[in-house]
Structure 1
């Protein structure tokens, strides 16, 4: 069984202890660290590289929601987040930062386990969702519902992140393909000579770009904004094209 490395973050000692206890009770969870503030949590996440963070929202100095937004903007793999809070009005904000679940205090072990199982399912399905490819391969396989679908790399226009899914947009008016895998996981398997991450929500096929502007890429009739953290890398590619 897959083991998920976890970090627990809560400024209330009793609430933190409860999450630690629940993690210890769950066979597929492993507690890597715990802390009582989001600033320390940021450092621990960088150091420990956890798969899952149980994150309180209402904390001083830096809230859990603010930490989640910062993590979304950082390069590299972002851990799954399950929010824990005493306030139910954060549910929509949690969705915006791709939180897997939202536990309303006081929550039971059954509710905790349900959230943990959801993360486990997403992780296992994503890890089994593709076969390794090399720069010389001309296709990939992605799991779509209950079958593996072969996709030609030459047919991919761009790939869009939709929370825990990716939407692969294809040329020749083919229907887009939806697959349960993170954009980061798929990015690591695509040949970098053919595909580039240009936004936290988009990977583009370099061969399909038909126009560029200062801050945007145009593929077919779609305009894709180049994210701030990707501009320098993309500029390097553009400079080579324009020489």
Structure 2
């Protein structure tokens, strides 16, 4: 059984004590530290392995959201966060910083265990992906997208095109009439996709080059959908078209 190293962060002693008691009660969690401020927790994260953080949002000096943003900007595979708060208006903020889950106080052990189990499942998924050796002649043909509070595997060949919305991307699939929505940026997704197969053709669109059915000077046709090619990306697209001619 994987044992997750956890820390609990809350400036309210009673709330902190409850979370720590729940962690001690859970066989696959180990309480690696308890902190009354996010600043103390940040120091601990830099000094030891932490897989999961149970993190209050409203705290003095440094809020839970601010700590989550610092961890996110570190660029490394940092610990996952489960927010614990008495205020449900922070749910969207928690989602934007890629929180694993969101516990609204007061919560019971059953709710805590459900959130902790998501943490366990996520860590195991990452470990399996890291441990699978890919033969040299094979290349990954899929990516994982965060959809709500789970990771969804999507095959590259199933993607027709991707549209960037305000806070989300909408992935249009060949196999499903319902698009996949993920809270990420088009730029972030562009960096993950293989450039030989996908191209950004507009500030709001990435297309699967294999799915293009027809083109004009300023548009691309994929199925029945017409996608514009903006001036910013026209040069790269023209280079791609030259291979067709």
* Kept after mapping to 1: 8 A contact 2:158/2:174: no
For 2:239, the equivalent position in structure 1 comes to none
Q: What is the rounded CA distance, in whole Å, between the counterparts of 1:117 and 1:201 in structure 2?
A: 31
* Kept after mapping to 1: 8 A contact 2:190/2:200: no
* Cα deviation 1:10-36 (Å, max 9, x = unaligned): 111221121111111111100111211
For 1:88, the equivalent position in structure 2 comes to 88
Q: Which of 145, 156, 174 matches 1:170?
A: 156
Cα separation, partners in 2 of 1:169 and 1:124, compared to 1, 3 Å? closer
For 1:41, the equivalent position in structure 2 comes to 41
* Kept after mapping to 2: 8 A contact 1:160/1:202: no
* Kept after mapping to 2: 8 A contact 1:161/1:201: no
Offset of residue 203 of structure 1:
1.4
Structure 2 residue runs of 5 or longer lacking an equivalent are 161-172, 176-186, 210-219, 221-226, 228-245
Q: What is the rounded CA distance, in whole Å, between the counterparts of 2:66 and 2:189 in structure 1?
A: 17
Q: What is the rounded CA distance, in whole Å, between the counterparts of 1:111 and 1:210 in structure 2?
A: 42
For 2:78, the equivalent position in structure 1 comes to 78
Q: What is the rounded CA distance, in whole Å, between the counterparts of 1:21 and 1:100 in structure 2?
A: 20
TM score, norm. by length of structure 1: 0.62
Q: What is the rounded CA distance, in whole Å, between the counterparts of 1:47 and 1:201 in structure 2?
A: 33
* Cα deviation 1:46-65 (Å, max 9, x = unaligned): 22231110000010111001
TM score, norm. by length of structure 2: 0.62
Q: What is the rounded CA distance, in whole Å, between the counterparts of 2:70 and 2:190 in structure 1?
A: 15
For 2:132, the equivalent position in structure 1 comes to 132
Cα separation, partners in 2 of 1:202 and 1:92, compared to 1, 3 Å? same
For 1:115, the equivalent position in structure 2 comes to 115
For 1:203, the equivalent position in structure 2 comes to 192
RMSD (Å), alpha carbons: 3.6
Cα separation, partners in 2 of 1:128 and 1:65, compared to 1, 3 Å? same
Structure 1 residue runs of 5 or longer lacking an equivalent are 140-152, 178-197, 223-243
Q: What is the rounded CA distance, in whole Å, between the counterparts of 2:145 and 2:159 in structure 1?
A: 20
Structure 1 residues 12-21 or 26-35, which shifts more?
Answer: 12-21
Cα separation, partners in 2 of 1:13 and 1:96, compared to 1, 3 Å? same
Cα separation, partners in 2 of 1:95 and 1:135, compared to 1, 3 Å? same
Q: SS at the partner of 2:78?
A: coil
* Kept after mapping to 2: 8 A contact 1:57/1:84: yes
For 2:215, the equivalent position in structure 1 comes to none
Tell me the number of residue pairs that the alignment of Structure 1 and Structure 2 aligns: 186
For 1:232, the equivalent position in structure 2 comes to none
Q: What is the rounded CA distance, in whole Å, between the counterparts of 1:128 and 1:18 in structure 2?
A: 32
